[in-house]
Structure 1
Amino acid sequence: MIETTTTERPREIAAIDLGSNSFHMVVARVVGQGLQIVSRHKQRVRLGAGLDAQNNLDNASITRGVECLAMFSERLKGFDPENVRVAATHTLRQAANAHVFLKRAETVFPYPIEVIPGEEEARLIYLGVSHTQPGEGKRLIVDIGGGSTELVIGSEFEPSQLTSKHMGCVSYNQRYFQKGKITPKNFAAAELSAEGKLESIAQNYIKKGWDSAVGSSGTIKAIKEVIISMGFDDGEITKKRLELIIEKLLVFKYVDEIKLPGLPEERIPVFAAGVAILSGVFRALKIEKMVFSDAALREGLLYEMEDRFQHSDIRGRTAGDLASRYHVDLEHAARVQLMASDLYAQCEPNPSTKKAELGVLLNWAALLHEVGLSISHSGFHKHSAYILQNTNLPGFNQEQQTVLVSLTRFHRKSLKLHEMPELVLFKPKQLHPLIRAIRLACVLNVQRTDEPLPDVTLDADDKDWTLTFPSGWLSDNRLLAADLETEQDYWTSAGWSLSIAEAISDDIESEKDQ
């Protein structure tokens, strides 16, 4: 008899990068302690070219993007949502009507799209390069995209400097090479603009220093290919070789006339703008040479998706660092966190994937709701929201950061829910139970004592919540009972209802029986 053994099929994961020029998808298998790339897919969508003067995407660019996602979804049939991560970058960060694109995408693409902040994009790019590029020591990583350029310094897997600048090959092409014209004057203007945008960080980066410089993504890859075709087999990008490319570029009067050995046809429209940006970066940071890395944002998404790389730990470290920086009372925050989590679990006993994610965000918000106390007690919930809105939070995408801001902003005082920012991945009503939970957790812990709170039972529906306390507890805690009455008034003004009740004591129950 022949024995057969069955082995578990390797987990497959996919990462998609919705860039300003192209959409990229990479699919990988988790094999042992590493990732094995299975397939790569790329579509030139030119999303950034569809932004008008009011930062609205035109219908044609939205349609191109949605059609690309429909194609990608064919490859992803059978993939569970937790095995697919999609990050949108500069153009959807900037687009005033990004919600229109995201709503249309939902009709053909069943996976959530995260719009990530620039510094989060920089962190993920660093993660992708550091996991795949050999070498030791401190690295400077430069990634020139269609709408933004990310610059990171770090060692091993830890970035120490993160910057995202609003300069990309698509946006610079539109601004400096209008009607496709190339002249020494407009090229120099683009180069000088890129150098100027780095003026505020240049000295700090140069002082920090690096052992090697690495470039990633399409622009730098195209420059490397041209350099190899010029006879430099190592493909290293140096200041002198960049100058040679610029000389060759300035021979052409129009972008569509550019013909350089090694330059892919699809890169021709934005090549001059990309070279100008990289030249400005070299000049501003005094870079001598740079090598190319095939890995970038999408590889960073892949490596962070796999459980063993502990994405949740990154968010925990982010929240912990922020709490430490603003001297948060961690014992009090933990009590609020525990009560808020308990109340949310009672109102959502069987949460969907999205609601479970919101529950996790509620925990981070409870930990950080008092960061604004370091500024002033008066209106500290607004100070907390401002800090969270304007701080780089590694591990959190743009919408998750907005949820944290909303929960801290509305955790006390008046409920001006009309001021809640618009969300795409979550519906505003999905945040209401979290706001109620964190508010009640703060009220119940207002005395900031180590005395344990009683078991509180919650009966909840969309608008009406009833809290039931043990018999006699509220009469023994009159100050807290008064605070709950004040909270009831806040809820009423928001169109919600909060009822406070006490459980019937055993003595009363026995009297009824008699």
Structure 2
Amino acid sequence: MNKKMQFEQDTLSHLRTNVREIAAIDLGSNSFHMIVARIMNGSIQVLSRLKQKVKLAEGLDENAVLSQEAITRGVNCLALFAERLQGFTAENVNVVGTYTLRRAVNNDEFLRQAAEVFPYPINIISGQTEAKTIYAGVCHTQPEKGRKLVVDIGGGSTEMIVGDDFTPIVAESRHMGCVSFASKYFKDGKISQENFESAYQSAVNKIEDLGWEYRNLGWQSVLGSSGTIKTVHQVIAATLDPNGIITKARLEDLIEQTLRVDHFESLNMIGLNPARVDVFVPGLAILRAVFDVFHIEQMRYSDGALREGMIYSLEKNFQVADIRARTAWGLTEQFDIDTEQAHRTAGSANLLAHQYTQWGKPTLAEEMKNVLLWAARLYEVGIVINHKGMQKHSAYILQNMELPGFDREQQRLLALLVRLHIGTLRITDLTQFARYDEQDVLVLIRLLRLAVILNKSRQATEKPQKITLKTNRTSTDWSLAFEQGYLDRNPLIWNELRQESQGLKELGVGLVFN
């Protein structure tokens, strides 16, 4: 283990002794959101989420004066949040106001009325601070490493950030949001080619000066966050691609469908929440402008954004290089996983996986092998419930917990591998994935099952000096070769391999060993 990894593990180990409940509240232009979470075992555990649509931006007039009606809606929502926060100290509550409160010339009146029902300080942050906090939220929750472009389309503003790992390089916030654009370009919910193009061109005008600088910096991945991009992702996932990847062609397809109707109330798409139609249409215009100005090829949705960035900012020690490692360490502590056994099993899985080369999707090989290693480290997480049926308990935990650092397909794959690491394996057990090849998934399952078998004796396990894995041309038949005398000295492993070989015959695949 290198010094950096050791430092991060020591840091997270220290955190497990400090249980702390925290809250983050985002006073957005469209909705107010609150997350209540607990810092425990070196990880963030979300306890509750509250959201209320207040449409603050609708109350901002041409002179940037916030109406009393809008103030009242916001204050009433904060009174509700205050009920949930009883007993919280001020240092554990982070509240920020964004675009609308930033712009309102009478925001002091909002703060005065809010103070009567809400006993926590409200910090109205700058656009650049908002952008950097959004970037932190994405980085702390998503698996992508290296340079990335992050885009967040909110109710009143859009943030665009390019950064390396946790460090933003450029961060900008521009005054264009789905609520403000809805009232300006889609009055009374009317849709037309003309008003859509007006909204699109306005968005282009607001960000085209950023285009060259951002494109010159470049990126390896593009992530989008918050409501508009989430909604576009959900519609694409329901109609075009289960992964919900946003591409230029898919975006144009949604725009074409949108322009077939003449009013918000007439727009009916699978995956589109009717309550979000009023912000979906102007959001499409803004998103199209972002794609065009920055020459984006594809974008993945991130469920981490401003609120997550606020939460993680309360505990600086969470900034580790590998988000998955932090997540796994938290699970290890929370569920008291045998770390030595996890290390042994992961070592065996790694040894075997590096000898397998016949991947159906070679470009995903490293990603799949990484998920395999995390499955090898976490397959016993369900033992805390019951050893009987442990694989089902483990899979349920991993499928239903929030796992920062794993996207949804990776989380589904992780849970499947853990569920099938032991017991009878049937072809009907294999789940369909949008991203992964079915045969590759079967390969991962077989590799994990072998790694578990090789370490059944736990601390009494004899680590073989060499294992050779060979496969036939179709990769269905595998051959394992151990050093001389190893299987004679380990009859339990020999018997487990024999049973595995018998069971695999029903799948039409073979396993021989010597």
Normalising by the smaller structure, the TM-score range is 0.5 to 0.7
Shift of the alpha carbon at 1:109? 0.4
Matched, 1:214 2:223: yes
Give the match for residue 146 of structure 1.
Answer: 155
Letter in 2 for 1:126: Y
Letter in 1 for 2:275: E
Give the match for residue 415 of structure 2.
Answer: none
Give the match for residue 111 of structure 2.
Answer: 102
- Give unmatched runs, 5+ long, in structure 2: 1-15, 320-514
> Within 5 A, what are the aligned runs for 1:67-146?
67-146=76-155
Give the match for residue 237 of structure 1.
Answer: 246
Shift of the alpha carbon at 1:308? 3.0
Matched, 1:17 2:20: no
Q: Partners in 1 of 2:161 and 2:194 — Cα distance? A: 30
Q: Which one has the largest radius of gyration?
A: 1
Q: Partners in 2 of 1:87 and 1:249 — Cα distance? A: 34
Give the match for residue 292 of structure 1.
Answer: 301
> Within 5 A, what are the aligned runs for 1:111-510?
111-306=120-315, 308=317
SS of the residue corresponding to residue 145 of structure 2 reads coil
Q: Partners in 1 of 2:245 and 2:166 — Cα distance? A: 23
Residues 455-506 of structure 1, C-alpha deviations (whole Å, 9 max, x = no match): xxxxxxxxxxxxxxxxxxxxxxxxxxxxxxxxxxxxxxxxxxxxxxxxxxxx
Q: Which moves more between the two structures, 263-272 or 279-288?
A: 263-272
Shift of the alpha carbon at 1:136? 1.6
SS of the residue corresponding to residue 235 of structure 1 reads coil
Q: Partners in 1 of 2:255 and 2:181 — Cα distance? A: 16
Give the match for residue 350 of structure 1.
Answer: none
Residues 283-334 of structure 1, C-alpha deviations (whole Å, 9 max, x = no match): 0100000000001101100000125359xxxxxxxxxxxxxxxxxxxxxxxx
Q: Partners in 2 of 1:252 and 1:62 — Cα distance? A: 34
Letter in 2 for 1:303: Y
SS of the residue corresponding to residue 132 of structure 1 reads coil
Q: Partners in 2 of 1:92 and 1:231 — Cα distance? A: 37
Give the match for residue 58 of structure 1.
Answer: 67
Give the match for residue 40 of structure 1.
Answer: 49
Q: 1:204 to 1:307 in 2, by over 3 A?
A: closer
Letter in 2 for 1:53: E
Residues 27-52 of structure 1, C-alpha deviations (whole Å, 9 max, x = no match): 11111222111111111110000001
SS of the residue corresponding to residue 263 of structure 1 reads coil
Residues 229-270 of structure 1, C-alpha deviations (whole Å, 9 max, x = no match): 213111000000000000110011012222111111221111
Counting matched residue pairs gives: 304
Contact 2:155 2:178 (8 Å CA) reproduced: yes
Contact 2:17 2:41 (8 Å CA) reproduced: no
Residues 171-192 of structure 1, C-alpha deviations (whole Å, 9 max, x = no match): 1111111121100011011111
Q: Partners in 1 of 2:293 and 2:172 — Cα distance? A: 14
Q: Partners in 1 of 2:139 and 2:240 — Cα distance? A: 28
Aligned-residue identity in percent = 51
Q: Partners in 2 of 1:303 and 1:162 — Cα distance? A: 19
Q: Partners in 2 of 1:80 and 1:309 — Cα distance? A: 21
What TM-score does the superposition give when structure 2 sets the normalisation length? 0.58
SS of the residue corresponding to residue 210 of structure 2 reads helix
- Give unmatched runs, 5+ long, in structure 1: 1-6, 311-514
Q: Partners in 2 of 1:93 and 1:110 — Cα distance? A: 20
Give the match for residue 450 of structure 2.
Answer: none
Q: Partners in 1 of 2:241 and 2:318 — Cα distance? A: 37
Q: Partners in 2 of 1:43 and 1:247 — Cα distance? A: 31
Residues 190-237 of structure 1, C-alpha deviations (whole Å, 9 max, x = no match): 111111211111000000000000000000000001111213111000
Q: Which moves more between the two structures, 233-242 or 32-41?
A: 32-41
What TM-score does the superposition give when structure 1 sets the normalisation length? 0.58
Letter in 2 for 1:292: Y
Q: 1:240 to 1:309 in 2, by over 3 A?
A: same
Q: Partners in 2 of 1:308 and 1:232 — Cα distance? A: 37
RMSD over equivalenced CA pairs, Å: 1.3
Letter in 1 for 2:79: A
SS of the residue corresponding to residue 140 of structure 2 reads helix
SS of the residue corresponding to residue 140 of structure 1 reads strand
Q: Partners in 2 of 1:186 and 1:145 — Cα distance? A: 20
Q: Partners in 2 of 1:187 and 1:231 — Cα distance? A: 23
Q: Partners in 1 of 2:88 and 2:17 — Cα distance? A: 16
Contact 2:153 2:178 (8 Å CA) reproduced: yes
SS of the residue corresponding to residue 20 of structure 1 reads coil
Contact 2:18 2:40 (8 Å CA) reproduced: no
Q: Partners in 2 of 1:9 and 1:291 — Cα distance? A: 34
Contact 2:236 2:246 (8 Å CA) reproduced: yes
Give the match for residue 372 of structure 1.
Answer: none
